Amino acid sequence: MEKIIYAIIDANKNNANVDYQIKNIKGLNGSDLFVISFQEISAVVSNFDTSKYSIKKELAIDFARVIDELSHLFTLLPIRFGTFLKSDEIITQLLTDHYQPFHDNLEKVRGKDEFGLKLLWDYDKSKESIRAEVEKEDLNPADYFSKNTVNTNYLLEKMKKYRLEDALLKHVEHFIDEISSLLAQINPDCRFNKMLSPSIILDAVFLVEKQRKGEFIQVIENLKQQHADLHFLLTGPWPPYSFMEILIDN
Amino acid sequence: MQENVIDQSKDITILELLDRVLNKGVVITGDIVISVAEIDLIYIGLKLILTSVETMQQRRLTTIKPNC
């Protein structure tokens, strides 16, 4: 029987009444949760027979449910779905070997929630509008090429394409600056992923202090009012999935 | 009232949730982890959902008119 790990929490079962607190939370397939502790941290796990149950999308969704319920009780580090280990001893060793990074990350996310923001635009329409801006400035071949050769037109076309891509990226970067500036007072930890696809221009995640959640949402609401041409997808609050800086390769 | 800005649609929530549990969180790999092949199939499924949600949102976006 394998063990599946859900999260690392900031409690030791000998010091806190962890077993009592988690007794009403069920693991995957209705299994009982239990904890394996080392110093001030614990791994929340349950038994899972990988030969008996098939791994489906619904199981991943249920895994997220367990993490969400735990997040209401403890500061935690979510573990990526699909981490099955052979024994309790391996989990204890994992906690022992990586105690410090687990401890440091728990401190970093304490009292904070994650929010996700995706910004979508009408790619074709926006591209044409930005292209019109870019093409206001004429490209003079003499500024770039010493001789007018048969390749000049090709190179000019390439340059126009590059300038358009550059302008699109600058447009997104300008937007990131605007968001960052408006959020400066709230000072969330943030990660921006630009141009995830032609239509998703920004995929951002924010780690926001729970008590400043209202201010954060208000800033996004204001931005939304100012940018009717963009579609805002704000989700959360989530446990701090996107702010884990731990990769353990044993 | 503020909560209205948070997207509550089921497709988006599930997509965002799967993106997190499958692609984020603490990563533990190596000999100590038991590999389960079906997890790769969920990843492939997630990419399909992402494409369909993106298409759906794009369609919705093109119908948005300012000041409506």
Cross-chain Cβ contact A57/B45 below 8 Å: yes
Assess if residue A250 is contained within a domain.
Answer: no
- A124 and A224 together in one domain: yes
Higher local confidence (pLDDT), A11 or A54: A11
* Nearest Cα to Cα of residue A238 among A128, A78, A45: A78
- A14 and A80 together in one domain: yes
CATH at A205: 3.30.70.260
Cα separation, B64 vs B68, whole angstroms: 8
The count of structural domains within chain A is 2
pLDDT reported for residue A249:
81
Quick one: pLDDT band at residue B48, thresholds 50, 70, 90?
A: low
- A202 and A172 together in one domain: yes
| Residues A33, A13 contacting (CB under 8 angstroms) | no
Between helix A57-71 and helix B38-62 the angle, nearest 10°, is 80
Cross-chain Cβ contact A249/B30 below 8 Å: yes
Residues A29-87: tens digit of each pLDDT: 999 999 999 999 999 999 998 888 878 888 999 999 999 999 999 999 999 998 899 89
Cα-flanking dihedrals φ and ψ of residue A43, to 5°?
Answer: -100, 135
- A132 and A170 together in one domain: yes
Say if strands A247-249 and A200-209 run parallel, antiparallel, or are unpaired: unpaired
- A164 and A64 together in one domain: no
Quick one: pLDDT band at residue B64, thresholds 50, 70, 90?
A: very low
Query: Which residue among A109, A139, A174 closes a domain?
Result: A109
Instruction: Give the position of tokens 């884990």.
Output: A244
- A130 and A91 together in one domain: no
- A59 and A76 together in one domain: yes
- A186 and A118 together in one domain: yes
- From the CA of A57, how many Å to the nearest CA of chain B? 6
- A122 and A180 together in one domain: yes
Instruction: Report how far apart, in Å, the C-alpha atoms of A195 and of each of A87, A166, A170 are.
Output: 42, 12, 11
- From the CA of A204, how many Å to the nearest CA of chain B? 12
Query: Which residue among A109, A137, A158 closes a domain?
Result: A109
Partner residue opposite B39 with nearest CB, options A55, A236, A248: A55
- A11 and A47 together in one domain: yes
- A157 and A48 together in one domain: no
Residue B63 predicted with pLDDT over 50: no
Cross-chain Cβ contact A79/B6 below 8 Å: no
Query: Which residue among A109, A127, A151 closes a domain?
Result: A109
Cross-chain Cβ contact B28/A122 below 8 Å: no
Domain that holds residue A29: 2-109
At residue A101, what is the residue type?
Answer: P
Among chain B, residues having any CB pair with chain A shorter than 8 Å are: 2-3, 5-7, 12-14, 16-18, 20-34, 36, 38-39, 41-42, 45, 54, 57-58, 60-62, 64, 66-67
| A159: helix, strand or coil | helix
Q: What is the ipTM of this complex?
A: 0.85
CATH at A80: 3.30.70
Q: Which residues of B touch A249 (CB under 8 A)?
A: 29-30
The mean pLDDT value of chain A amounts to 89
Q: Which residues of A touch B2 (CB under 8 A)?
A: 214, 217-218, 221
Quick one: pLDDT band at residue B57, thresholds 50, 70, 90?
A: low
Cross-chain Cβ contact A122/B61 below 8 Å: yes
What are A198's two structure tokens? Answer: 């032609």
* Nearest Cα to Cα of residue A124 among B62, B8, B63: B62
